Structure 1
Amino acid sequence: MKTVHKLLLSSVFAISLPLLAMDLQQAMSALGPAKTQGLVGEQPNGYLGVVSSSAQAKEIADLINQARKAEYQKLAAKNGIQLSDVEAIAGKKAIEKTEAGQFIQLNGQWLKK
């Protein structure tokens, strides 16, 4: 009987999966293609921005930005500096690392690098 319940539960879970929101791992996997497609880009504040409005782009940016902020807060606390300083440093590095053809935000404008 336990096997039947497990099978039933796994089937219900598999059916409901597409209805669930994206998780951080899925967002990380989707980030490269989203950048290549021009959906999201790097901003000077250390966070992703939505270049081409879509629900998927917003979800990717939101999930990754939440994780980035948590990491930035840890770094700020560990080093005794302001969160805004960590964000600015991270933003500069992210823009520098952005590949040619992907979007970055400079002076409030989205530009292809």
Structure 2
Amino acid sequence: MTRTSLMIAAALASGLVSLTPASAQSGAVAGAVASGAVGEQADGYLGIAGSVGADVRSEVESINIKRRAAYTDLAGKRGVTVQDVAAATGCQTLSSRVKPGQAYRIGAGGWQTKGAGPIALPPYCATAGQ
């Protein structure tokens, strides 16, 4: 990711943070997020952090397909990569939507649970907002 493409993607992704608000998720997925079994990832997608049923797994996959479609559409319109839009959205999501007690993952690292303070974001997030 280049600094310029991340800056562009961050500006564009600001509207995408609301792609899957809690109200758009089923009670099962919202419960799995609240319990830490499903979490946000720095790559802009939801991930399975614990044990979940097939219904939750299927809905997470469906949400991620919708996110990728939105990222792809925006990337094509703005001339940046899908990965840049997804990563910029991931930075914004990790900093603004993940609540204490919820799971998140940065890169290929393990799942973590958000405490009371801010999440230590990946280095590229620092350039995404500039």
Structure 2 gap segments, 5+ residues each:
1-22, 115-130
CA deviations over 1:54-92 (Å, ceiling 9, x no partner)? 223311210100000000001101111111100110111
In structure 1, list runs of 5 or more residues that go unmatched: 1-25
Q: Which residue is 1:42 aligned to? A: 40
The structure carrying a bigger helix percent of its residues is: 1
SS in structure 1 opposite 2:105?
strand
Residue 29 (structure 1) aligned to one of 23, 26, 31: 26
Other-structure match for 1:112: 113
The residue that corresponds to 2:91 in the other structure is 92
User: Which runs of at least 4 in structure 1 moved beyond 3 Å after TM superposition?
Assistant: none
What percentage of aligned pairs have identical amino acids?
A: 36
Q: Deviations over 1:7-41 (max 9, x none)?
A: xxxxxxxxxxxxxxxxxxx9722332220022200
Question: How many residues are matched?
Answer: 88
Q: Which has the higher contact order (CA 8 A, sep 6+)?
A: 2
Aligned to 1:82: 81
CA RMSD of aligned residues (A): 1.8
Report the residue type matching 1:67 in the other structure. K
Q: Which amino acid aligns with 2:111?
A: W
